[in-house]
Chain A
Amino acid sequence: MMDYINAFWVGGLICALTQILMDKTKMLPGRIMVLLVCSGAVLGAVGVYEPLMEYAGAGASVPLLGFGNTLWKGVKEAVEQEGFLGIFMGGFKASAVGISAALVFGYLASLVFEPKMKS
């Protein structure tokens, strides 16, 4: 039960902070997404994100920060195995599942649903 609660409040906190960023600044959504991914990679590199993910599970891995952390982890592991070339390989390898899933499920959703007007 605690797992769910922790996932909820950590994930919710990340979303709430991002919402404040969207409302209070003039940054366009694309920039905010890039900012989140980069922050995730940095937090991963300084060793903060891994413990957070152990504590909050999906609450930390699902938001874009988690994607940044995954990229960082992938690059780090690939560099350990392949050396210099790993810089270019690791990120894609580690994020392949997430990106492919987003593409495939996005496509499936577009077959079923139609865009509607905002009201």
Chain B
Amino acid sequence: MPEKVNYYVGEQSLRFPREVYITASASVVGKKEGEGPLGKCFDMVCGDDKFGEDNWEQAESTLQKEALALAMGKGKLKPEDIRYLFAGDLLGQNIATSFGLMDYEIPLFGLYGACSTAGESLSLAAMCVGAGYAKTVAALTSSHFASAEKQFRFPLEYANQRPISATWTVTGSGAFILSGKRSRIRITGITTGKIVDMGVKDSMNMGAAMAPAAANLIAQNLEDFKRKPEDYDKIITGDLGYVGQEILIDLLKKKKIDISSVHEDCGILIYDKEKQGTGSGGSGCGCSAVTLSAHYLPMLERGAIKRILFVPTGALLSTVSFNEGQSVPGIAHGVVIEQEGERES
């Protein structure tokens, strides 16, 4: 049983009374992601971006459904073994999540943190297991290029030209099973981000809008846990892209923190910029989730890396706020994930 100690760490971070493990995860992506540098790592690459459905929104729902099914299969779990779902997507009123996960009949917390939802859902799921409210929960997020274009930019039927600097929304869904049951990968802490608004008004340049939030979060995490950047093998942001990465590293250098040797960005990793014509890189709450599941978790499991800070970043805009001339505030959520060494239990 947890003893009476304080689990707050610094101003914005937590560790948990009970150990929290990621016991299984799964990633499902579309065709373009399958052709990218990480293509071979994903559990499932679907050649049909509609996933056999009638429209893009249903396709995204199917993405989530499949990702959760695969993750449950890997963890040898049935829906009734999962106490809570923490899930979200980018569409209005979270419809991809609602319609995709409805049939599982698992109690659901629907979340919205824009592209940071992968971190938000993992944080809350870890808190839930860490506090002992559940033995096993699942966290998942999705995004789909075509439904996101319709939601935030222009529907594909309109055949709008995309500026080269625009990010490319990842078609994909990542699902994670969190449990108190021991595995090789453990979540040891979280840092929850604040909304940071630097007044960026360009909706095509999300990296610049989110980088200050990521910088704040990373600095806070290092301060709270009294760590240096080198204490992490990697500090991984969600979808800052090339422009955002530069801004992030510069912002932290001003605070005398140099993360340039350990920083990686899922949006940069997931596509081949030259061959795939993806401009600033990938984005969307599927981007960081599938990259974590397919790329980083296996590295942790192998022991190639020991400790990472996973920082999905989100741009909190809607088409309404944007059209009303509001700026694009950013948010970021940090999750510390470590390899659990061999140990007698």
Contact = CB atoms under 8 A, between A and B. Distances in A.
B6 interface: no
Contacts of B145: 117-118
Interface string B140-182: 0000011000000011110011110000000100000000000
Contacts of B157: 110, 115
Given A118-B145, A119-B32, A29 B160 contact: yes
Nearest to B30: A117
B295 interface: no
Contact of B161 (A26, A29, A116): A29
B204 A115 contact: no
Given A26-B202, A26-B204, A117 B146 contact: yes
B57 interface: no
Contacts of A119: 31-32
B49 interface: yes
Nearest to B54: A114
B156 A116 contact: yes
A22 interface: yes
Contacts of A26: 163, 202, 204
B161 A115 contact: no
A117 B49 contact: yes
A117 B163 CA distance: 17
Given A26-B204, A29-B160, A115 B146 contact: yes
**Interface SS, B side:** loop
B156 A115 contact: yes
A31 to B, nearest CB: 12
A47 B202 CA distance: 38
Interface in A29-72: 29
Chain A residues touching B, range: 10 to 19
B341 to A, nearest CB: 43
Contacts of A22: 161
Contacts of A110: 157
Contacts of A116: 156
Interface in A82-119: 110, 115-119
A47 B125 CA distance: 68
A39 B95 CA distance: 42
A110 B159 CA distance: 13
Contacts of A117: 30-32, 49, 145-146, 156, 171
Contacts of B155: 115
Contacts of A118: 145, 156, 162
Q: Which of B30, B146, B157, B163 has most chain A Cβ within 10 Å?
A: B157
A22 B204 CA distance: 13
Contacts of B156: 115-118
B282 to A, nearest CB: 14
Interface of A: 22-23, 26, 29, 110, 115-119
25 contacts: A22-B161, A23-B163, A26-B202, A26-B204, A29-B160, A29-B161, A110-B157, A115-B146, A115-B155, A115-B156, A115-B157, A116-B156, A117-B30, A117-B31, A117-B32, A117-B49, A117-B145, A117-B146, A117-B156, A117-B171, A118-B145, A118-B156, A118-B162, A119-B31, A119-B32
